[in-house]
Structure 1
Amino acid sequence: MAAPNSSINNYQLHHSVNVQGTKNVIDACVELNVKRLVYTSSPSVVFDGVHGIHNGNETMPYAHSPNDHYSATKAEGEALVIKANGTNGLLTCCIRPSSIFGPGDRLLVPSLVDAARKGKSKFLIGDGNNVYDFTYVENVAHAHICADRALVSEGPVSEKVAGEAYFITNMEPMKFWEFVSVVVEGLGYEGPRIKIPTFVIMPFAHLVEWIYRLLGPYGMMVPQLTPSRIRLTSCSRTFDCSKAKDRLGYAPIVTLQEGLRRTIESYTHLKAENQPKTKREGSSKASIYLGSGRVADTLLWKDKKQTFIALLVLIAIYFNFIASENTIISALTKLLLFASIFLFIHGILPAKILGYTLEKIPKSWFHLSEDMSHQIALSVASSWNIAVNVLKSLADGNDWVLFFKAVLSLFILSFLGAFSLQSLYTIGVTFAFIAFYVYEQKEEEIGGLFIKTHSLGCKLKSDLTRKFLSSKKID
C-alpha cells in the first residue's frame, strides 16, 4: 500500500510509482511465472472531486476528471493490472479499500494531531454532514487474503473473481467529521465545532497550492490545505461491498468502533496529556519589543483594567478628534470637560456603595515622577539626534542601504496617505491590541514560520544568483 503523499499533486511523482512501478511489478510477475497478483487500488479512481458518491459500486466508470494526480495515476495502475489478467497464467484482481486507518498509520492520525496542536482541530469544512466509509487496517489485510484465496480456487470461482475490482470498507458509514472528532477527542484534543463553508476556504487552498509549486523545490513543506484535500473532506463517499462479499467472501473482522478504540490506544505518545509542556522563562519577545513596561502590559492584556481604560481613551479620542468635524480646541475642551465631570463625580462618591467597594483613583496617577520626566526628555532628544544623523548620512551620499531604506519608508508613507485618517486610526488601534497579543500566544509557531520563510528566501536567492552567473558565463 506504499505510495507518495497524495497531498503532493505532482503527476511525474505519482506516475513513477503508481503506473511505472505497477508495470514493473506486472512484468516481474509474468517473467517469474507468478500465478496471482492482488493490487491495492483506491476508491479515488471513481471520484471526480465534485460529485459525492453514495453507495457507489463497481459499475461506476473511472472519473473523467480525477480529483488529483494521485487518483488519475491510481486508475492507470489499476487498468494495467486488470489488463494483465491471464497473461502467462497470471490471475489478477484489484481491491479498493476506502479511507484506511489503524495503528501504524503515518498520515491520517498524525496529521489530525498536528492540526489539533496548532488549534486547527476546532474547525470543520463544509456543513459537517458528509458521510464516509472507513476501513480498519486489519480488514484491509483480511480483504487481501480473501482475494488471494478466491483467485487460488479452481474453476468458475477464480474465473469470476479474476480481472475485476472490488470496493472494501468496514460496511459502517459514518459522518466524516464525527470520525475526526472521535479520534482527536479520544487523544485529548478539542474536536471540530466551527463550520467553514467550502467556497470560503477553497480560494486560499488554490493560493497555497500555487505557492507550493513555486517554492516546493526550495524546501517548502508539503501543505495540508490543498483543493483536493478540501474536496475529499467536504464530499460524501460511501461504497457498496456486495461484490466483494459475494465473490471474495469478504466481511469485516473488526468493527468500526473496535478499530477506533485500538487506533486511539496505539497513539498514546500523541495524547495531549503526554505532550511536553514548554514553560516560558522571563518576558516574552512581544513584551520585550514593547519595552516590558506599562505599554506592554496594556497591549498584551496583562492588566485588563489598564487595557480597558486605554481603549476607552482611544475611543474618546476617535470620536472627539478623528471622526468629528470639531476643531482641535473645541474637541480638546469637550474631552477635558468629560474628564473633569468624571473625576469630580468619582471623587464625591462614597468608598462603599450597596456593599461594593469603590476603588479610588490614587493621586500618584497624576504625578509625573522625575525619572519619567527624564526618560521622556531623553527619548525626545534621542529621536531628534537619530533624525539629524540620518539626514547627515544622506547628505554625504555614501550609504546606499540607508538611502533605499529612506525611499522605501517614504513610499510606505505615501501609500498610507491614500487612506483616510479615520481608517488608519481604526486599523492601527485594532492591530496594536490584537497583533501583539496573538504574537505572544503563538510566538513559537510564528517564529518557526519566519525561520522557514527566511530559509526559503535564502535558497531562492542562491538559486537565482547561480542561474544568473551561469548565464553570464555562457554569454
Structure 2
Amino acid sequence: MSGDEKWCVVTGGRGFAARHLVQMLIRYDVFRVRIADLGSTVDLEPSEENGILAEALSTGRAQYVSLDLRSKSQVLQALQGAEVVFHMAAPNSSINNYKLHHSVNVEGTQNVIDACTEFKVKRLIYTSSPSVVFDGIHGIIDGDESLPYPPKHNDFYSATKAQGEELVIKANGVKGLLTCCIRPSSIFGPGDRLLVPSLVVAARAGISKFIIGDGNNIYDFTYVENVAHAHICAERALASEGTVADKAAGQAYFITNMEPIKFWEFVSLIVEGLGYERPRIKIPAFVVMPIAHMVELTYKLLGPYGMKLPQLTPSRIRLLSCTRSFKCSKAQDRIGYTPIVSLQDGLKRTIDAYPHLRAEHRPKREGPSKASIYLGSGRADTLLWKDKKQTLKALIVLIAIYYNFIVPESTIITMLSKVLLVASVFVFTHAGLPKKILGYKIEKLQSSHFRLSEETSQQIAKSLASSWNASVKTLKSLAKGYDGILFLKVVLTLLVLSFLGAFSLQNLYVIGVPAAFIVFYVYEKEEQKIDDMVLEALSRGRKLKSDVVKKFCTSKKIE
C-alpha cells in the first residue's frame, strides 16, 4: 500500500449484508476495500466471478484477509493502515450459545476498538441490531433510540450485541476515533441464506400454512441495499467536519424501509411470490412454545453429534408473534439516511433472485411416504391432511372433547360417565329416526358395529400379555445389575414420563393434538432429511457409547 491510498475494512465481509456493502463501496470508489472474514481464502460464487468484486480483487482495488475476531494479532493485521472500519462480523443469530456470542460480539469488538485506537483509525461503524432493546415479551411500536436496554434479552445474541454496542459508543472520541452504531431491522434481499430459504423449507414441509399468534403483529423490514446505504451515510456523516460529525458520532440509529407491514403479510408475499400457499391457520404462541422448548432441549443434547440447527426455538417464536416497529427520524436527521429501494421493489427483487426455490422446482416423491405407511390409510388421510373433510371432522370432534371434557377439568370417572351419556343419547335418538329424511337414507347401527371378533380379542390379549412379559424380562435384566445401557434406557424413559406427568391433562391435550397434526405432516415432507439426521445422531451415539466403554475398560485394567 502506498501512503496516499485510503483503505476501509469490512469485517465479516462475506456475510449477507456485508457483501452488498462491499459492492457499494467498490462502486462508491472513495476507498480501497479490505474484506475480512473467517475463510482462509475468498471463494467467489458463480454470480460474482464476472462481476465488480472479481474485477476489484484482480486490480487491487479490493483485497481479502483471513480474520478471526477472537485473535487480537489477526485483528491488528487486518486493520493496519485503514481509515474506516465497518464492523459487521457476528455469529449466526439463531445459535443461542453464550460463549460463542460473547467471544465474538464482545471480546472481538473490543479487539477491533483496540486496533482502531492503536492505528489511529478515524471512523468505526458498528452493525448492531434492534434486538438490543427487545426483551422477547413486550412488543415495540414506533420505537426510537431513547428505548433502554432491557434487564433481560430474548437471547444471547441480542444481549452480547448490546454489550458490543456499549463498547463502541463508549470508545467515541478516544484518540480521535469517531464511532456510531447501525441497527438494521430484519434484513431481506438477494443473497439471503436464512429468511427466504427457511420460508421455502417451511412451505415445502406444509408448515407455511400456519400463523404463529394472531397474525396482526407489525414489523419493520429493511431491504439489504438500504442497509448498505445506511452504513455509507453514517461514514459520510462522521467524515464531515463540525456540527454534522459531532451530532452523528457516539450514537445508535434504527434503520428500516420506513414502511411497517404485518409480519405475516410480508411472509405471505414472499411465499406466494415463489408459488406456495400463503399462511392462513392461526396457532396461539402459547401452544407452540412448549414444543419449541423441547426442540431446543433436543438440539442442546444432540447438537454436538451433528443435529442441524432447528427453526422452531423459543426466541424465534417470540420474534414471530411480537410487534417490532421502529422510527428512523434520528437517522434521517443526523446521518441523512433515506431508503433508496422501496419495500415493494425490494420484495420483487428478492423473489426474482430465487428462481431455483420456486414451487415448480421442488423435488417430487416417488411412492407412499413412511408416515403414510406407518399411520395406515385412515389415520394417514386425517393426520396428513389428505382428506380435508375427514381432517375437519376429526378436528371438530377433538375441539368438542376439549371444551366438554378437558377444560372443565373433569375426573376420569366424570369424563367416562359423560361419554357414556352422550353415546346413550346418540344411540337412542338414532334408533328412533326414520329410514329416510328428506330423501337421505339413514343407516341404522347394528350390534356388530360394537362387537369384537374372536380374532381381534385374541390379538388384544396377546398384545397385552406380550407387553407384560417384556416388562418382566426388563426387570429381570435390571435385577442382575450387568446391563448398564438397559438401565440408562429405563431411567431416561421414566424421566420422560415424569416430565410429561408434570403437565396437566389440559396442557398435554393442547400440546399433543396440534403436535399430532404437525409432526407427521412435517415428517412426510422432509422424510429424507429427518431420516439422515436421525441416522447421523444414532451413528454418533454409537461412537460415543463405544468411546465410553473403551475408557471404562481401560480404567478397569489400570486399577
TM over 0.5, yes or no? yes
- Secondary structure of 1:167's match? strand
Pair 1:467 & 2:548 matched: yes
What is the letter of the counterpart of residue 473 of structure 1?
A: T
- Secondary structure of 1:39's match? strand
Pair 1:52 & 2:52 matched: no
Residue pair 1:285, 1:440 contacting (<8 A) in 2 also: no
Residue pair 1:112, 1:121 contacting (<8 A) in 2 also: yes
Identity of aligned residues (%): 64
Residue pair 1:181, 1:192 contacting (<8 A) in 2 also: yes
- Which digits, 9 at most, give the CA deviation of each residue in 1:367-423, with x for residues without a partner? xxxxxxxxx9xxx9xx9xxx9xxxxxx9xxxxx99xx9xxx9xxxxxx9xxxxxxxx
In the alignment, which residue of structure 2 is the partner of 1:35? 122
Q: Which of 44, 48, 62 is equivalent to 2:149?
A: 62
- Which digits, 9 at most, give the CA deviation of each residue in 1:417-454, with x for residues without a partner? xxxxxxxxxxxxxx9xxx9xx97995563454244223
- The structure showing larger relative contact order (alpha-carbon pairs under 8 Å, at least 6 residues apart) is 1
Residue pair 2:254, 2:331 contacting (<8 A) in 1 also: yes
Residue pair 2:188, 2:224 contacting (<8 A) in 1 also: yes
In the alignment, which residue of structure 1 is the partner of 2:308? 221
In the alignment, which residue of structure 2 is the partner of 1:209? 296
Deviation at 1:278, TM superposition (A): 3.9
Q: Kindly tell me: are residues 91 and 454 of structure 1, through their superposed partners in 2, closer, same or farther at Cα, counting changes over 3 Å? A: same
Pair 1:14 & 2:101 matched: yes
Matches within 5 A, 1:395-474: 443=524, 445-474=526-555
Pair 1:80 & 2:161 matched: no
- Which digits, 9 at most, give the CA deviation of each residue in 1:90-113, with x for residues without a partner? 111001011111111111111111
Q: Kindly tell me: are residues 121 and 288 of structure 1, through their superposed partners in 2, closer, same or farther at Cα, counting changes over 3 Å? A: closer
Pair 1:191 & 2:278 matched: yes
- Which digits, 9 at most, give the CA deviation of each residue in 1:104-137, with x for residues without a partner? 1111111111110100000011111110111111
In the alignment, which residue of structure 2 is the partner of 1:142? 229
Would you say how many aligned residue pairs link Structure 1 and Structure 2? 373
Q: Kindly tell me: are residues 101 and 300 of structure 1, through their superposed partners in 2, closer, same or farther at Cα, counting changes over 3 Å? A: closer
Distance 2:249 2:378 in 1: 72
- Secondary structure of 2:158's match? helix
Q: Kindly tell me: are residues 193 and 42 of structure 1, through their superposed partners in 2, closer, same or farther at Cα, counting changes over 3 Å? A: same
Distance 2:310 2:125 in 1: 32
Distance 1:451 1:256 in 2: 38
Distance 1:238 1:64 in 2: 20
Deviation at 1:471, TM superposition (A): 4.3
- Secondary structure of 1:121's match? helix
Matches within 5 A, 1:282-431: none
Distance 1:84 1:289 in 2: 61
Distance 1:287 1:42 in 2: 44
Distance 1:247 1:188 in 2: 42
Q: Kindly tell me: are residues 274 and 175 of structure 1, through their superposed partners in 2, closer, same or farther at Cα, counting changes over 3 Å? A: same
Q: Kindly tell me: are residues 100 and 287 of structure 1, through their superposed partners in 2, closer, same or farther at Cα, counting changes over 3 Å? A: closer
| TM-score for the superposition, normalised by structure 2 | 0.58
What is the letter of the counterpart of residue 159 of structure 2?
A: A
- Secondary structure of 1:458's match? helix
In the alignment, which residue of structure 1 is the partner of 2:325? 238
- Secondary structure of 2:257's match? coil
In the alignment, which residue of structure 2 is the partner of 1:171? 258
Distance 1:209 1:297 in 2: 32
In the alignment, which residue of structure 2 is the partner of 1:114? 201
Unaligned regions of 5+ residues in structure 1, if any?
291-295, 308-322, 325-337, 339-344, 346-353, 359-375, 388-393, 395-399, 409-414, 416-430
- Which digits, 9 at most, give the CA deviation of each residue in 1:282-324, with x for residues without a partner? x76678889xxxxx777877xx9xx9xxxxxxxxxxxxxxx89
Deviation at 1:158, TM superposition (A): 0.8
Distance 1:96 1:202 in 2: 27
- Report the aligned-residue RMSD: 4.2
| TM-score for the superposition, normalised by structure 1 | 0.68
Unaligned regions of 5+ residues in structure 2, if any?
1-87, 382-386, 391-419, 422-430, 442-454, 467-472, 474-479, 491-496, 498-512
Based on CA coordinates, which of the two structures has the bigger radius of gyration? 1
- Secondary structure of 1:128's match? coil
- Secondary structure of 2:211's match? strand
Q: Which of 354, 372, 380 is equivalent to 1:267?
A: 354
